[in-house]
Structures are given as structure tokens and as C-alpha cells.
Amino acid sequence: MMKKDTLITATGRDPDKNFGIVNPPVYHASTVTFPTVEALEAATRDPFNNVYYGRYGTPTTFALEEAMAELEGGHRAIACASGLGAIMATLLALLDTGDHLLMVDSAYGPTRKVCDLVLARLGIETTFYDPMIGAGIGELMGENTRVVFTESPGSLTFEVQDLPAIAAAAHEKGAVVVLDNSWATPLNLAPFELGVDISIHSATKYLAGHSDLMLGIITTTEATFDKVRLTSGLMGGCPGPDDCYLALRGLRTLGVRLARHQETGLALAHWLKDRADVARILHPAFEDCPGHDIWKRDFTGASGLFSIVLEPRSAKAVAAMLDGMERFAMGYSWGGYESLILPADPRPLRTATEWRAEGPLIRLHPGLEDAGDLIADLEKGFERLNRNG
């Protein structure tokens, strides 16, 4: 068995079929032509396993899907136009009117909106649950519970979930376990070894890694593939070939980038931990983080993204800190080479649990810059914070 660092360079490409050229070509296609009626009909019968029509994917899409399925250790992967598109396609594929969904309370905000604003309208009921519930998930499961959706660690607050315990309880009642695995990437968590049935990535983040494209990936078991592929295909949200190519190119350097993101993230977090104006570090590698022991058991490393809770400070003081940052830019998303910082309030995004914190929450995405330069920028930010009360 190849180690993942080797696999990441070898998978999803075949120079022998491509004039010896290292990377697969970018195929731009809508129409695919067939020489005979027989060939046309054969492709039509099985559109997901042929180059058939641009919307169903081109060899560029398939190369990315092959690479992700191998890296995740799943059966097959499906590329979607965005991470949220991947989440929506998966939930619509698995749930019918009258079904029940268990959704983690620390889910990515727009994932919650899919439940509240789309699934509810279709007569699909969602119960949000405490990310730390573990095997207790079994008690929330009814006859009609079809899906348990997990995200580990959670968005903004980084609770690490006990996936094997959740999967065991879910499978006992016949439900499918879906994981949003965007934070860990395929390099730091092997979802299918932990009992997950479907793993989703916002490839927009670390996989693409350069803040220049939107892409989602769904990787499934053999048993769940056909259903998810059908719905995702019929939703029509196919990614463009250039974006698939760029994501595949980003993937080749994921190992070195992620190691650096981890190292810088830990350096920043350790520096922040010692400050009197920082109340808590929300980083799975820190003992304060709920589920830290689970992270040590199930993950092989951390990526860079984490949050801090400040001691009580006014909104004006936080704005003074963030408005003046020079190395950290403010903006949504993460996973690119450049550092980002974001104020966030988890309170409106929690219903099963209550978010209680000493002060405001700030999320940091350390990029690939020098850690000392980033710390110097933060230090000046804290001076502005404290000057403004």
C-alpha cells in the first residue's frame, strides 16, 4: 500500500495515455459525438460510466474523481459545482418526504439553512444534535431516521465528533452516516475506516488551495453511490473542466501545504494561548477543545484553521483590531495560501446547544507566510484591541 503522500502524486493521471505528458489534459466539452447508433445507445444506457455529455463529466472530471476516491479510501467520488452543492445533492439523494435527518448543531451555517429552508419545505424533518453526543445519537433515532450528518471538527467552534460511536449507532438503525470532511482533508482523516458512508469536501478550501475556484466532492461507499450519483447528475450542477484541473493540480501539493498550515497554526495558537486577552483556544490539538482525545485517536494531524475566544471586549474594539490587520485579510472561506481572519458569532447558529463564551470569537486561517510575520501582525492587532476597550 502506497502512503498517502505518494498516492497523492500518482493518482488521477496516466501519462502513458497522454503522449507522456505529466498532467491530464483539460477537456472542454458539451457535445460528445458517436460514430454509430450502437455506440450512441451504449453510452446513453450508462451515462455515468461513459464520456457521454459534458454535464456528466469529461476525462478531466473523472481524473479528479478517481484521485479523491482513492485518497479518501471510498468506492467512487462525484465532483460538484461547490461544497454546498455536494451537501445539497447528497441530502436530496438520501431523503424523501416523511424522512428524518439528524444534523450536527455545529454544522457549517449554510448546511443548517438547507435543512431549515429547503428540506423542511419538502416535508423532511431535521433534529439538530449536540456534536459531543457520541453513542447517545441512538436515542434520537426514530423509525424514519435515514441520515446522520456529521461535521468534524465543527464550523467556527471545532468540536471533534466520535464518528465510530455515531456510525455504530446509526448503522444499527439502518441510517447512513455523512461527514463533512473539509477541515481534515483526505490526508488527516480516513472517513471510511471510521464507519462513514459518504464523505463530502468543500474542495474550494485546502484541496484547491489557491482561493480561485469553487468545487465540491462527494465520495461514497459502493452501496450509496448509484443513488447519490443519479441525484447529483440530475441537479445539473456540474463543475467546469478548468476548475477540476486546478483542483487536481492543487491536490499534488496538499501534503506540503497542509504540513505548513498545521505548523503555523500551532505556532500562532501557542502564542495566543499565553495572552491575557485570549480566553480560550478552539483548536482540536489543544486540550480545551471538546473532543481533543478523539482527535488524537482518529486524526493523523491538524490543518491550519482554528478559532479563539477573546476575553470580553466591545464590538468597536474588535473592529479596531481587525480593520487594521496587514498580513491577515478579512473574508469568507479558507484553505488558500494567504492568511484570513474573521469575526464570527456562533450563537444564532445553535439550537440544540447553547454557545456560551467569555467574549467575542475570532476565526483564523494561517496561510503559508512566515509565522513570525503573522504573529507580529496579530500583536499590533491586540494593541489596537486593548487601546479601544
- The site for ligand PLP (CB under 6 A) is made up of 82-84, 108, 151, 155, 180, 182, 202, 204-205, 214, 216, 333
- Whole-number minimum distance, CB 226 to ligand PLP, in Å? 24
Pick between residue 214 and residue 317 the one whose CB is nearest to ligand PLP. Answer: 214
Strand partners, 343: 362
Given a contact cutoff of 8 angstroms between Cβ atoms, the answer to whether 199 and 192 are in contact is: yes
- Whole-number minimum distance, CB 25 to ligand PLP, in Å? 25
Peptide bond preceding 360 in cis form (omega within 30 of 0): no
Separation CA 62–CA 48 (nearest Å): 10
Q: Which residues contact 92 (CB under 8 A, 6 or more apart)?
A: 231, 235
Question: Percent helix, strand and coil across the chain, each rounded to 5?
Answer: 45, 15, 40
- Whole-number minimum distance, CB 183 to ligand PLP, in Å? 6
Residues with catalytic function: 55, 108, 180, 205
- Whole-number minimum distance, CB 112 to ligand PLP, in Å? 11
Separation CA 114–CA 94 (nearest Å): 14
Chain position carrying cell 494567504: 338
Separation CA 178–CA 316 (nearest Å): 40
Pick between residue 156 and residue 320 the one whose CB is nearest to ligand PLP. Answer: 156
- Whole-number minimum distance, CB 84 to ligand PLP, in Å? 4
Pick between residue 78 and residue 385 the one whose CB is nearest to ligand PLP. Answer: 78
Pick between residue 214 and residue 258 the one whose CB is nearest to ligand PLP. Answer: 214
**Measuring CA to CA, which residue among 335, 337, 362 is closest to residue 216?**
335
Amino acid at 355: W
Give the residue at shortest CB distance from ligand PLP.
83
Pick between residue 138 and residue 290 the one whose CB is nearest to ligand PLP. Answer: 290
Sheet of 198-202: strands edge to edge?
76-80, 216-220, 198-202, 176-180, 145-151, 100-104, 125-129
Given a contact cutoff of 8 angstroms between Cβ atoms, the answer to whether 226 and 78 are in contact is: no
- Whole-number minimum distance, CB 178 to ligand PLP, in Å? 12
Residue 165 φ then ψ, to 5°: -70, -40
Given a contact cutoff of 8 angstroms between Cβ atoms, the answer to whether 59 and 199 are in contact is: no
Separation CA 353–CA 347 (nearest Å): 9
Biggest alpha carbon distance in the chain?
A: 76
Pick between residue 342 and residue 374 the one whose CB is nearest to ligand PLP. Answer: 342
- Whole-number minimum distance, CB 126 to ligand PLP, in Å? 17
Separation CA 183–CA 344 (nearest Å): 17
Pick between residue 131 and residue 138 the one whose CB is nearest to ligand PLP. Answer: 131
According to DSSP, residue 257 is labeled H
